[in-house]
Amino acid sequence: MAPRTWIRGDDFPPEVPGMNLVVNGKPHNHGGGGTLAELFEECHANPAQVAVMINGEVVRRGRWDSVRLAEGDHVEMLVFAAGG
């Protein structure tokens, strides 16, 4: 996996505590330790119904536990919903 280098910290005020991310195109201040599980909880997303991309790279479910988010990461969460 190539290191993530797309950091756009100038999108956020520097005085905001926590980790500044972009989640689904919107600024998000992540108060956790940088895990996807913590991000899912903050965003009220059911992990069983989510697909994830970080900085344009698809993250397979089997790697979720080993991924650590970094300041400025761009996260896309696609939530699957049943419908009729």
- Domains of the chain: residue spans and CATH: 20-79 (3.10.20.30)
Q: How far apart are CA 75 and CA 67, in angstroms?
A: 12
Task: Please determine, for residue 1, whether its predicted confidence score (pLDDT) is greater than 60.
Answer: no
Distance CA 29, CA 20 (A): 5
pLDDT in tens, 63-79: 999 999 999 999 999 98
Residue 27 has pLDDT above 80, yes or no: yes
Residue 17 confidence class, pLDDT cut points 50, 70, 90: low
pTM of the predicted protein model: 0.76
CA atoms of 4 and 55, how far apart (whole Å): 7
Q: What is Dmax (Cα atoms) for the chain?
A: 45
- The string of pLDDT tens digits covering residues 32-58 is 889 999 999 999 999 999 999 999 999
Number of H helices, E strands in the chain: 1, 5
pLDDT of residue 61: 94
Residue type, 68: R
